[in-house]
Amino acid sequence: MSSTNQVIIFDTTLRDGEQSPGASMTKEEKLRIAKQLEKMRVDVIEAGFAIASPGDFASIKAIADTITGSTICSLSRALDADIDRAGEALKNAASGRIHTFIATSPIHMKYKLQMTPDQVVEHAVHAVKRAHNLISDVEFSLEDASRSELDFMCRIIEKVIDAGARTINIPDTVGYAIPEEFGYTIGQLLQRIPNADKAIFSVHCHNDLGLAVANSLAAVTAGARQVECTINGLGERAGNASLEEFVMAIRTRKDLLGLDTNIDTTQIVPASRLVSSITGFPVQPNKAIVGANAFAHESGIHQDGVLKHRETYEIMTAQDVGWQTNRMVMGKHSGRNAFRSRLEELGTSFSSDVELNHAFARFKELADKKHEIFDEDLVALVSDVRAADAYEKYKLSSLNVTSQTGEVPVAQVTLMVEGVEHKAESEGGGPVDAALKAIEAIVHSESSLELYSVNAITSGTDSQGEVTVRLEKAGRIVNGMGADIDIIIASAKAYVHALNLLDANVQKAHPQV
């Protein structure tokens, strides 16, 4: 595969994806996802925004110090402090990249930056030169490029390439572009910029009109050779171009596009599950590629066709993207080593024997209740254990709920608050409502419940339920996660997890917003 038909996959799940309200991840969670992205052979991992917070800096540094199979990237504004901080975070990276940006649309330059076009060019060139002094791989982005003037884009791109930028990113920052228009813009830039051959052109499309993947495909058809995307299309507002959809479109229509990527597509579903489990953003059943119904057929005509010849109604195989029938049947006598080995195959490792033993004990508890343990159960179990092992002001000690026909449900909760036992009882419209009200009677969080979501991790009535609870307080949004065979206990765990996240007060600032 020559360099002219290979599309570089730049994953920004850990940076732009994390800007989804409530999707903040810990350093350990980011590192788990980064390892899975490396296993999937992602070319570039944008690990965060180094100057946004100490936590972001630490996450980027940890990933840069660990990952060797992918280029690790940090975002920075066209400001000296941002660039220096990014360089510091990437200092030990086997392959590092600084990604600096400045807005180029008339509306952004006038109202946000309050700068003239000449000043913007000057700042951009200075930023690229400063970044290039720290690291050889520099990417430059024209924020709000889809609403920028073509002549000005040609001017600033030519200057930053001369200054040392080797990747030029054209973002559809607000999801405004239409595929035909966006493809034309990329083609014009490549034709009109004299030194365009000295850089790889990239696109970063948002999904506000549901066109992020379509715009990305139009761009690579016109000559772009890097696409910035996220697992499950995660991202602020309506999200970003979905990595799995773009990659499989390229792979499936290679006959038309003549393009390919380095991605190991069998790792797509495991990556999707991991990101969903960590962020608390469930994947809708009808989501392309990774949704539970993506390869399901209910129509009798479709079923008949697939049984006779799969390709009558399937354009790719479920196994191509990592859907498997593999399951792990383990019980009381299953060993710790087999448990560890299977989780390592699923992209999860343990930092210590203490962490392994805690997770293994929870596995044995689950094995007592559930006959068959599936891979999805294991991923959810580890996420649940790690959430419980994190900082905890509040800890669920016991929960008793009474619910019967014709009677108002009642919940009694015992909650440990900074090591002190507190009890409360409450009625509710249902058992879950009663349980959460009883918890709230103890904590008085003054938060509002923005989302309550239940997702069955596997099939069957003994499936674990994975609950997501989104709380908002004073403009801050967090997602709490909980998993259990008992959906009421899972709900209480998720609510307590969200309360702990609110109390931890780890608030990130994203300076580009």
Cβ atoms of 507 and 476 closer than 8 Å:
yes
Sign of CA dihedral 338, 339, 343, 349: negative
Round to whole Å and give the CA distance between 327 and 71.
Answer: 33
Distance CA 18, CA 280 (A): 11
CA 60, 64, 67, 73 torsion: positive or negative?
A: positive
Nearest residue to 45 via CA among 243, 315, 181: 243
Of 241, 234, 267, 203, which is closest to residue 38 (Cα–Cα)?
267
Full set of structural domains in the chain with CATH: 8-279 (3.20.20.70), 292-322 (no CATH), 326-388 (no CATH), 391-507 (3.30.160.270)
pLDDT in tens, the chain (513 residues): 345 799 999 999 999 998 887 787 889 889 999 999 999 999 999 999 999 999 999 999 999 999 999 999 999 999 999 999 999 999 999 999 999 999 999 999 999 999 999 999 999 999 999 999 999 999 999 999 999 999 999 999 999 999 999 999 999 999 999 999 999 999 999 999 999 999 999 999 999 999 999 999 999 999 999 999 999 999 989 999 999 999 999 999 999 999 999 999 999 998 998 898 888 888 888 898 888 777 764 445 444 554 555 566 566 777 788 776 444 455 555 678 878 887 777 767 777 888 888 888 888 888 777 766 777 777 777 777 766 666 579 999 999 999 999 999 999 999 999 999 999 999 999 999 999 999 999 999 999 999 898 887 776 777 788 899 999 998 888 888 888 889 999 999 999 989 998 887 544 555 544
Binding residue ranges: 16, 204, 206, 240
3-class secondary structure, 484: strand
User: Phi/psi of residue 226, each to 5°?
Assistant: -140, 135
- Can you give 361-426 as a three-state secondary structure string? HHHHHHHHHCCCECHHHHHHHHHHHHHHHCCCCEEEEEEEEECCCCCCCEEEEEEEECCEEEEEEE
State both tokens at 444: 């008085």
Closest CA to 280 of 483, 433, 462: 483
- In angstroms, how far apart are the furthest CA atoms of the chain? 77
- Pair of tokens at residue 165: 């930028």
pTM equals 0.82
- Give the C-alpha separation, 402 to 404, whole Å: 7
Where is the binding site for Mn(2+), in residues? 16, 204, 206, 240
